[in-house]
Amino acid sequence: MLADQMRHVQDTGAEFLCAGDNSCLTHIGGGLSRLRTGFGTMHLAEILAATEGDVR
């Protein structure tokens, strides 16, 4: 299952993987890191916190 998930993530061409579940983010992010894919990982809460002051 992890191999399929990592392949799907890599197929997107994105720079970051975002997830709302810490265990999934850790599992998939760890696999991508071991493969040295260069993908960054961020929890959804991190993205929302980073944009908090930009709301208009």
Residue 23, in any domain of the structure: yes
**Helices 22-34, 2-12: crossing angle, 10 deg rounding:** 80
Question: Please, what is the average pLDDT of the chain?
Answer: 90
Q: How many domains does the chain have?
A: 1
* Bridge partners, 43 (sequence order): 19
Residue 6, in any domain of the structure: no
Residue 2, in any domain of the structure: no
Q: Which residue has the higher pLDDT, 51 or 12?
A: 12
Q: Enter the tokens of residue 22.
A: 């810490």
Cα 7 vs. chain centroid, distance in angstroms?
13
pTM reported for the whole predicted model: 0.76
Q: Enter the tokens of residue 46.
A: 């991190």
Residue 4, in any domain of the structure: no
**Structure confidence at residue 17 (pLDDT):** 93
pLDDT one-digit tens code per residue, 1-46: 999 999 999 999 899 999 999 999 999 999 999 999 999 999 999 9
**Structural domain span for residue 35:** 14-54
What is the spatial distance between Cα 53 and Cα 56, in angstroms, rounded to a whole number? Answer: 8
